[in-house]
Amino acid sequence: MSLGDEAMAGAQSAMDLGELGGSAALSVLGAALRGADDGELFIENSRAESFLWDDGRLKSASFDSNQGFGLRVVSGEIQGYGHASALTLDALQRAAATASAAKDGREAVLAPAPALRNDRLYAPIDPIAAPGFAAKIDLLSTIDAYLRARDPRVVQVSISLAGGKRDIAILRADGGWVEDVRPLVRVNVNVTVEAHGRREQGSAGAGGRAPYADFIAPERWRDLADEALRVALVNLEAVDIPSGEYDVVLGPGWPGVLLHEAVGHGLEGDFNRKGVSVYAGRIGEQVAAKGVTVVDDGTLPDRRGSLTIDDEGAPTQRNVLIEDGVLKGYLQDRLNARLSGVAPTGNGRRQAYDHLPMPRMTNTFMTDGDRDPGEILASLKRGVYATNFDGGQVDIVAGSFVFQCTEAYWVEDGQIKAPIKGATLIGNGPKVLEKITMIGNDSCLDDGVGTCGKAGQSVPVGVGQPTLRVAGLTVGGKG
């Protein structure tokens, strides 16, 4: 909605705005932004809880609530930022004085506010409200007992629950006012098994912008527990393979984290405006194999990486970054879009009120191809089938990456011969896109466990892809 001075003074909000919900706050903001290129007042109230079950008992439980605001003044490419945890006019005035220093005498015309929309991508719920504390502890104990009873080789079970709600509001100098209520939950199960003096692990998790009930119903948590145990038992039988260059088939869903890290970050607007990304200045060029289409979509209902509005108040959208191998665009926040002479894409994100927004991914994935996944695996004469990854290391400038496989298999003549251990995938993101030779028709997103780090800020994201065959990828192994 758009609010003038009088309307602002009487505005009703579901949030606790302290002294920042009236016309006085709008006046302070207006004065701070006079002569600036852009800026806003970002207000946040958040609640979060987490539980960790380990060694057969509740190891930790925490609850945090937080509130605060950040006032940003943008002048050219300089950003002034003042923030405080006190929602008072005095704190706002001091923050405005600090942030206004970014103007340094420069005068500009304030950029138009983002377009507003009324639709919601997730329900405005508070996941912490249900189930209660005792029920959550009982659930953790039940999952632990279930796994230990499933297999005598289980020696360790670690389970975590995390949930919370962020209420955010954004005020602009013209009185434009938007709010969002952002629920988020996550369940993770990790299992350690032991046999013949050898220990291995497996894990599984799920989450999204929905109530706990969507992820802790008996049929759901049993699926997660069974999957974690399955991976652990597979790894218990895993063998070494020699290092070398092999054709690799990547499974669908979570393996898209490689796409996210090795390619997605290189498509963020700040890296490209500054010319430090391998994709800088390459719009319209063929940067991937034919058939490769990469999308970032923040509008998928209830997904972990989705946002009704980004952290600058802009509606999220479906952004086609690469289409049929051709680079189409970058992910933009308002600052980098303005300086690059393009439109924002709804990708301005910040970890919390005391952080500046920057261009970030939401749900990033490769779309379907036309090949059957079974056909792709059958085509692999001698190579690696990788279905799960741990964290990796990526060089944004060079595009190089190293990823640890947590579930992978050695394949000969299209047949899985044995699970393998200690395998790492080593390569270059842009070159991997060029080496894709087969694209499956089974594209899907991960189960909702992704968290992305950039410049010291962490935000929830989604990743995904179909089954892919990549030619000639370096695989680190033994020897």
Helix (H) or strand (E) holding 445: strand 444-445
CA distance 361 to 312: 14
Q: Enumerate domains of the chain plus CATH numbers.
A: 5-236 (3.30.2290.10), 244-476 (no CATH)
CA distance 157 to 82: 44
Query: Which DSSP string do the residues of 188-218 spell out, in sequence order?
Result: EEEEEEEETTEEEEEEEEEEESS-THHHHSH
297 beta partners: 318
18: left (phi over 0), alpha (psi -120 to 50) or beta: left
Nearest C-alpha neighbor of 36 from the set 95, 90, 76, 89: 76
Residue 230 DSSP class: H
CA distance 352 to 66: 10
Helix (H) or strand (E) holding 335: helix 334-340
182 beta partners: 166
What is the tens place of the pLDDT at every residue in 3-52? 334 434 334 567 889 999 889 999 999 999 999 999 999 999 999 999 99
Query: Which DSSP string do the residues of 81-143 spell out, in sequence order?
Result: EEEESS-SHHHHHHHHHHHHTTTTT---PPPPPPPP----SS----GGGSS-HHHHHHHHHHH
Residues 6+ apart with CB under 8 A from 161: 49, 50, 51, 136, 139, 140, 185, 186, 187, 212, 216
Q: Is the dihedral of CA 240, 246, 248, 254 positive or negative?
A: positive
CA distance 473 to 368: 22
What does pTM read for this prediction? 0.94
CA distance 106 to 411: 63
Note if the bond before 131 is cis, omega within 30 degrees. Answer: yes
CA distance 380 to 383: 6
Asked if 367 and 436 count as a contact pair (C-beta separation under 8 A), the reply is no
For 86, phi then psi, to 5°, come to: -100, 125
Asked if 208 and 448 count as a contact pair (C-beta separation under 8 A), the reply is yes
**pLDDT value, residue 393:** 76
For 209-313, strand residue ranges (E) read 244-250, 294-297
Q: Which residues of 413-431 are buried (b: 16+ CB within 10 A; e: fewer)?
A: eeeeeebbbebbbbbbbbb
Asked if 394 and 278 count as a contact pair (C-beta separation under 8 A), the reply is no
Stretches where the chain sits below pLDDT 70 are 1-13, 391, 479
Asked if 427 and 248 count as a contact pair (C-beta separation under 8 A), the reply is no
**pLDDT value, residue 170:** 96
